[in-house]
Structure 1
Amino acid sequence: MKFGVSTFLTDQGIAPAALGRAVEERGLDSLLIAEHTHIPVDRRSPYPGGGEAAFDRVAALGDAWLANSLPPQELGPKIDRLRSIAGRDVPVTVYAVANEPEIIEQYTQLDVERLLFYLPTLPEPETLSHLDRFSDTAARFR
């Protein structure tokens, strides 16, 4: 299983370059950064929806599904349904997973490809401490 980090970057937290180096140094495989700082007032395209509403689109166009922080007992049936619709083994990444080995063990039983720990926006010393804990937990499952 792969482990990564997702976070929002602001002026209140660690700088992006330092964060990227710290993630790599700890053997985490990915860093996902929020891509927007605001939601526009005028949307020119409809909101595509998420969750199971996205399954047909993922099956037809995508190569993976980013599941938003669902607990393992709820996620398992959704993964089965998605893979049934797609007719193939669709890789799944779970966003904002708690740093709790008992929960991570349950995700391993679902054969997800990657778990993303949610990293709160904090000053560099606290951020590095969080990353150390994430790395220690991830090492238990490699």
Structure 2
Amino acid sequence: MDFGVSTFVTDEGIGPAALGRALEERGFESLFLAEHTHIPASRETPWPGGAELPRHYYRTLDPFVALAAAAAATGRLKVGTGIALVIQRDPIILAKEVASLDLVSGGRAILGVGAGWNREEMRNHGTDPRTRMRLLRERVLAVKELWTKEEAEFHGEFVDFDPVFSYPKPVQDPHPPVLVGGSGPTTFDRVVEFGDGWMPILGRGTEDLPAQIKELRDRAGRYVPVSVFGVVPKAEIVAGLEEAGVDRVLFNLPTEPEAETLARLDRMAELF
């Protein structure tokens, strides 16, 4: 089982390059960054994690810029999104961003995808929350076409373009892994159709994780890697996830200044 961290990199905490170096020095396998382009002031949509939205949600750096900085400062650390809000991103630009990250990192990029929860944020990007899952599907499929075809084209309900050239192509063959976030009733449909792995948040719809993982792999008819993020760094939790069949544990790393972050990473590293 591999160990990484999932976190929010902001202008108020440790920088991405320093964080990447610290993780690699301590033997962590990966860094996954959250994304919010902005937070609407209305705050009408309830946050799934509780009553008050934490400050770091408002201040996130662009994940691909931050991950590129982390990749440039390291040689082995895998760099991924946990999650990229695909329904708020143009798929042609997203394909280029991830392929560029994969190229500059030497094939270490991972694309975690999801549809998000903040309806006002979606609407500011022109996305109708009612159709966001269909939009997510088409954009991911379009990105994969752009990554893998010399002349890529896509014709769908939401995404439509005639043959185009899109470079660079990813280093990884056939492309960076696409990990599908979420744990709702239709999540496994998306994992089976266009995902290369499943990446739920621990404690949000993961109450029977061993049975869920078995169901997913049975439905897919293949081995589907499972990464769990937002994990509290406790030995008994890690042991339970390993027994459940999880492939990657992503410890929840609070957004803190560099000194506090390094001390926390030292304690986390003791678990593996």
Which residue pairs with 1:47 in the alignment?
132
TM-score by length of 2: 0.48
Deviating more after overlay: 63-72 vs 108-117 = 63-72
User: How do 1:101-120 residues align onto structure 2 when only pairs under 5 Å count?
Assistant: 101-120=235-254
Which residue pairs with 1:63 in the alignment?
196
The CA deviation at 1:37 is: 3.3
In the alignment, structure 2 segments of 5+ residues that lack a partner are 39-120, 134-180
In structure 1, C-alpha distance between the alignment counterparts of 2:132 and 2:239, rounded to whole Å: 34
TM-score by length of 1: 0.88
What whole-Å deviation, never above 9, does each CA across 1:92-124 have from its counterpart, x for those lacking one?
Answer: 000111111011111111121100001111011
User: How do 1:24-103 residues align onto structure 2 when only pairs under 5 Å count?
Assistant: 24-38=24-38, 39-40=121-122, 41=124, 42-43=126-127, 46-48=131-133, 50-51=182-183, 52-70=185-203, 73-103=207-237
* Counterpart AA for 2:19: L
- Whose RCO is larger (CA < 8 A, sep 6+)? 1
**Structure 1: which 4+ aligned runs deviate by more than 6 Å?**
none
Corresponding residue pairs, total: 138
Task: Report the 3-state secondary structure (helix = DSSP H, G, I; strand = E; otherwise coil) of the residue aligned with 2:193.
Answer: helix
* Counterpart AA for 2:234: E
In the alignment, structure 1 segments of 5+ residues that lack a partner are none
Aligned residue among 116, 124, 128 for 2:262 = 128
Structure with larger Rg: 2
Q: 1:37 to 1:127 in 2, by over 3 A?
A: farther
Contact 1:56/1:85, CA 8 A, preserved across alignment? no
Which residue pairs with 1:20 in the alignment?
20
User: Identity, % of aligned pairs?
Assistant: 49
Contact 2:198/2:224, CA 8 A, preserved across alignment? yes
Contact 1:4/1:31, CA 8 A, preserved across alignment? yes
What whole-Å deviation, never above 9, does each CA across 1:51-83 have from its counterpart, x for those lacking one?
Answer: 141111211221100011138752112111111
In structure 2, C-alpha distance between the alignment counterparts of 1:107 and 1:86, rounded to whole Å: 21
